[in-house]
Amino acid sequence: MTRTRERVPRWRGALAGTLLLTTLGLLYAEHRLFAAALVPLAYVAFGALSSLSGTTAPTVERSFEPTSPPPGARVEVSLRVRNEGESALADVRVIDGVPDELAVVDGSPRAALALRPGEEATVSYSVVAKRGDHEFDDPAVRVRTASATDRVTAAVEADGDTTLSCAQSVSDPPFGRASPRRVGTHATDSGGEGVEFHSTREYRPGDPLSRIDWRRFGKTGDLTTVQFREERAARPVVVVDARPVARTTPSAGYPNGAELSAYAGERLYDALTAAGVATSVTAVGLADEDLTGGLPADELPWAASDGSGSPRLVFEAAGRAADRDDPDAVPGDGAVVRPPNEAEEKHIGVPEDSIYGEETGKDVSTAADADSTTATDGGDADRSIRRLLARLPADAQVVLVSPVPDDWPASLARSLSTRGHDLAVLSPDVTGGSSGGELAVGESAGDPSPGRTVAATHRAIRLWDLRTNGATTVDWDVDDPLDLALERSLKTLL
């Protein structure tokens, strides 16, 4: 514990006043001037006699609630300050060492207290959790006398919690572990082998006897065969959207869309592998410095739970990409973002003038019409989509985790549909414009900014466009637990 003590010459004016009045009283032999000199003299004596000698610095204990939050969750930080000494502390100032990466959204990490011997007080404030481990510095404590002429400043080592760890993966998967690894299944619209009734058709020689509708045969004498909804093997492929356009955030200090996508993708991967489903992982929008060892030639890192590569490295790379908050590449409320250079543009995978449903000089309908004319095989198809399609196995079922800030997911959905791949989209809502969304500090409830409202509307249109293209969408309100969104997502995969 570092400790600094200093005397503050606060009552120099009172001392000068005392000397002046005493001198005038002697010159004019006026007893009333001597009496008036007693007033500033009392302040001088009070300051001179006030001392912190023998005073013990208060103890501080810090606690977090919850202790392992997900990204975007509010965490209440409590400081319990206790006077362990035998002297009263008339003026105690406390400032907690909040990491620069965490934004304080409620309360204040600063406090002014007065503590009697053995008394304690609690200082509480809230921060927004962000991905990773965040270590708090020791609280700065300043103790002053009542006259403020003697003060001690110290960095007091806090007991209790010192590091806030944002949960990276599911600690208790909702499914028991199974082995060996298997692929998932998904129902189709065609009849065949399965468990769910699909239709009936005329009996054909060679049909199994167990599938003959004997009730109908007993009533009408006609032989018919029951068909069930056919289930086919599918291998989930989790795709994390870490493009610069996805690194948008509703307010300063909150996790951005790419960071939430990486977190949700890792949780989804853990749930699938815990259920024994063989799952592949990739991410779009990464740069060479994000992945250990650099990106492959097609700029798509690829890993599988039952094959080569490390899925954890892919998620870590997506997290590092999300942390690259370049002001020229990260959008704000309704702003149009342009790539800073050609090298960055190749990782974006969208037209450079597209953001939140707006294209420079175009309205939403024009942008959608232009995007619908994009070919799905070669030609004008987006390079990142073509490369992703080339890497997908034949039985792939794609799960895109993205805030859907532009038309790129819809283009991917159309491309996947033409190739017979199913698409599920798990989308964290980072627009801040929904009725249940988290508002910025100081913003009145029910009155989000126009930019957020427009962004939320464009996002809703894009989700609707994804559904019309056959994709299953799961809208994750970041104010709700991620487990609710995961449960809805897993229903389409298991």
Query: What is the CATH number for 128?
Result: 2.60.40.10
Residue 456 lies in a domain: yes
Within-domain flag for 177: no
Same domain, residue pair 313 and 432: yes
83 lies in the same domain as 199: no
Q: What is the CA radius of gyration of the chain?
A: 33
Task: Determine the Cα–Cα distance for residues 375 and 380; give it in Å rounded to an integer.
Answer: 6
How far apart (Å, rounded) are the C-alpha atoms in residues 232 and 141? 65
Query: Does residue 174 sit within a domain?
Result: no
- pLDDT tens per residue across span 102-161: 889 889 999 999 888 889 999 999 998 887 888 999 999 888 877 777 788 888 888 999
Residues 22, 37: contact at Cβ < 8 Å?
yes
Q: Do 44 and 95 lie in a common domain?
A: no
Read off the pLDDT of residues 439-467 as tens digits, 9 standing for 90 and up.
Answer: 444 444 345 678 788 888 999 999 999 99
Same domain for 208 and 111: no
- Give the β-pairing of 159-160 and 59-65: parallel
Q: Is residue 345 part of a domain?
A: yes
What lies within 8 Å, CB to CB, of 21 at 6+ separation is 33, 34, 36, 37, 40
Residues 283, 318: contact at Cβ < 8 Å? yes
Residues 250 and 306 reside in one and the same domain = yes
CA dihedral 168, 249, 445, 334 (to 10 degrees): -160
Q: Is residue 43 part of a domain?
A: yes
Per-residue pLDDT of the chain (494 residues; tens, 9 = 90+): 666 767 667 777 877 888 888 888 888 888 888 788 888 878 777 766 676 666 778 899 999 998 888 887 889 999 999 998 888 888 889 999 999 888 898 899 999 998 888 899 999 999 988 878 889 999 998 888 777 777 888 888 889 999 998 765 443 344 333 333 444 444 444 444 555 555 677 777 877 777 777 777 778 877 887 776 555 567 899 999 999 998 888 777 788 889 999 988 998 898 888 888 888 999 998 988 888 888 888 888 998 887 778 888 999 899 888 887 544 444 444 333 334 444 444 343 444 333 333 333 333 333 334 343 343 344 334 788 999 998 888 888 899 999 999 999 999 999 998 888 889 999 998 887 543 344 444 444 345 678 788 888 999 999 999 999 888 898 888 777 777 777 776 666 55
- 450 with 316, same domain: the answer is yes
For residue 178, tell me if it sits in a domain.
no
One domain for residues 313 and 395:
yes
Which residues pair with residue 358 across a beta bridge? 355
Total domain count for the chain?
4
Instruction: List, in sequence order, every beta strand (DSSP E) within 129-205.
Output: 132-135, 137-144, 150-155, 159-160, 163-166, 184-202
C-beta atoms surrounding 301 within 10 Å:
26
Listed residue (62, 67, 11, 69) closest to 41, CA to CA: 11
In this structure, the answer to whether residues 136 and 263 fall within a common structural domain is no
Gap between the Cα atoms of 214 and 492, Å rounded: 33
Same domain membership, residue 221 and residue 257: no
What does the alpha-carbon distance between residue 325 and residue 246 come to, in Å, rounded to a whole number? 11
Q: Is residue 180 part of a domain?
A: no
Alpha-carbon distance values, 196 to 191, 192, 432 (Å):
10, 10, 41
- Answer yes or no: do 121 and 155 share one domain: yes
Rounded Cα distance between 423 and 409, Å, is 10
Is the residue at 70 inside a domain? Answer: yes
Enclosing domain of residue 35: 8-49
Are 347 and 458 within one domain?
Answer: yes
CA–CA gap between residue 61 and residue 312 (Å, rounded): 35
Task: Write down the mean pLDDT value for the chain.
Answer: 75
Q: Are residues 199 and 160 in the same domain?
A: no
